[in-house]
Amino acid sequence: MNIAIEEVSACRRRLRIEVPASDVDAELNKITDEFQKMAQIKGFRAGKAPRSVVEKKYSKDIEEEVKKKIVPRAYREALKSKNLKVISAPQVEELQFKRGVSLSFSTIVDLAPEFSLPEYKGLKIKKADSEVTDEDVEKVINNILDQNADYQDVVGRPVAEKDFAIISYEGTVEGNPISELLPDVPNLNKQEKFWLLIQDGIFLPDFGKQLIGSNVGDSKTVTIKFADDFPQEPVRGKEGVYQVKIDELKATAEVLKSRIRENIGRDKEQRARSEQVKQILDQLKDNTTFELPESAVQNQTQRAVYDIVRENQMRGIPPEMLEQHKGDIFAAAQTSAKEQVKIGFILSQIADAEKIEVKSDEILEIVHGYAQQEKVPVQKMIKQLQENNGIDQIEDEIRNRKTVDFLLQSAITE
């Protein structure tokens, strides 16, 4: 098999592949044999028609089947032979096929960029404040109630404003568990026995308000809108749906302080981690230079445009206004896409260098969560994910998360 590679751009190549006539004829004979065994032609018993008759009647079908068999196989062999790390789907062009001669075609593919990693171990990051002070706790309490209030168990009535509801909840965004989108922010994804003050400005917007009137033991669906400038990008500007169970209504001053301290501590730790991750990724991004594959940027830009448009539609922005600002929407989406694609390649190369791997049970744990969320059998969920390249996406997300953890552990805090 002959393979010629032409450089189109830094990450784009045109492959010209030629399959020898002998290989084409062998496949052609094999496919013709299969057609002959199954052919039902008038005047002949099933599978007994002469080969020449079968070839004449099914000529186009046989040739199409031959192309379907040879082209993908030749493409895979070419990638393996030339050790090409392709990240885009092939689009076959200039396909030439005639009986008795070689089969040839070309295809344009995007390759993973080749670049040298900057120093990524021991990156310097600033210490983030995660200490919970008494002042932090008192500030929250003072926003909740009178300094001398003493909350007792609440029985015999539904949730009311300024109650402390002890709740268990789990959230999703666009059908995806927030625990998968934000695994390091447990307060936003899934909690058991979470203490929540029913008052404006506490926790997520309008979350507590939607629980007013519910009784202990009730289950409710709470829908909230994450702000456009929300700290965690995966849920920014999107709708969150929470399944909430009211476990208890009670609080004493001392227990209240303890729970508030725990919640503030978790929130501060999460914010501190997010800020340090941002510092690391910014350093890696700024210290690494390489061309980005066009298809990767285009695909990520399309997803970003879709998210922006959908989010604005949910906010009630009319289509004509979105149309007027489509240039700005595309520019913002493309800028974000380029950063995400660049970070993705950097993290992938670091993971390769450090031999960071994802175990099958780690993927299966995520799949089980999806299956439970959708209330479908695990095997059915696996099949759905495989059809949409979902398993690979899950593996990439886990690998990236483990790589970020590695970078954090090796960083030097100033």
pLDDT digits (tens, 9 = 90+) for 95-128: 988 888 899 999 999 999 999 999 999 999 988 7
| H or E element that contains 173 | strand 164-173
What pLDDT is recorded for position 6? 93
Residue 126 dihedral angles phi and psi, to the nearest 5°: -80, 140
Q: What is the pLDDT of residue 240?
A: 93
Check residue 131 and report its DSSP letter.
P
How deeply is 79 buried, as exposed, middle or buried, from its count of CB atoms within 10 A (0-12, 13-18, 19+)?
middle
Chain mean position to CA 401? 12
Please tell me whether residue 45 adopts helix, strand or coil conformation: coil
Segments of the chain assigned to CATH 3.10.50.40: 151-251
What CA dihedral angle connects 236, 179, 306 and 339, to 10 degrees?
A: 70
Q: What is the pLDDT of residue 47?
A: 75
Please give the pLDDT value at position 60.
86
Task: Give the closest residue to 30 by CA, choosing from 71, 75, 70.
Answer: 70
Q: Are 19 and 104 in contact (CB under 8 A)?
A: yes
Name the CA dihedral angle for 244, 246, 250, 256, rounded to a multiple of 10 degrees. -10
Q: Which amino acid is at 64?
A: E
> Do residues 168 and 244 touch, judged by C-beta distance below 8 A?
yes
In degrees, rounded to 5, the angle at the alpha carbon of residue 340 between the alpha carbons of residues 337 and 344 is 135
Highest CATH level, class, for 276-413: mainly alpha
Query: How far is Cα 190 from Cα 187, in angstroms, rounded to an integer?
Result: 6
Distance of CA 259 to the CA centre of its chain: 33
Place of tokens 């950063």: 339
Q: How do beta strands 190-197 and 164-173 pair?
A: antiparallel
pLDDT digits (tens, 9 = 90+) for 206-256: 899 999 999 999 999 999 998 887 878 889 889 999 999 999 887 655 656
At residue 143, the pLDDT reads 65
pLDDT < 50 stretches in the chain: 146-148
| CATH T-level fold of 2-110 | Alpha-Beta Plaits (3.30.70)
Distance from CA of residue 297 to its chain's centroid? Answer: 15
Question: Which fold would CATH assign to domain 151-251?
Answer: Chitinase A; domain 3 (3.10.50)
- Start-end of CATH 1.10.3120.10 domains in the chain: 276-413
Please provide the DSSP assignment of 17-38 as one string: EEE-HHHHHHHHHHHHHHHHHH
Taking the CA atoms of residue 234, residue 236, residue 238 and residue 240 in that order, the dihedral angle to the nearest 10 degrees is 70
CATH 3.30.70.1050 in the chain, residue ranges: 2-110
Q: Is 341 helix (H, G, I), strand (E, B) or coil?
A: helix
* pLDDT given for residue 140 in this prediction: 72
Cβ atoms of residues 236 and 276 within 8 Å: no
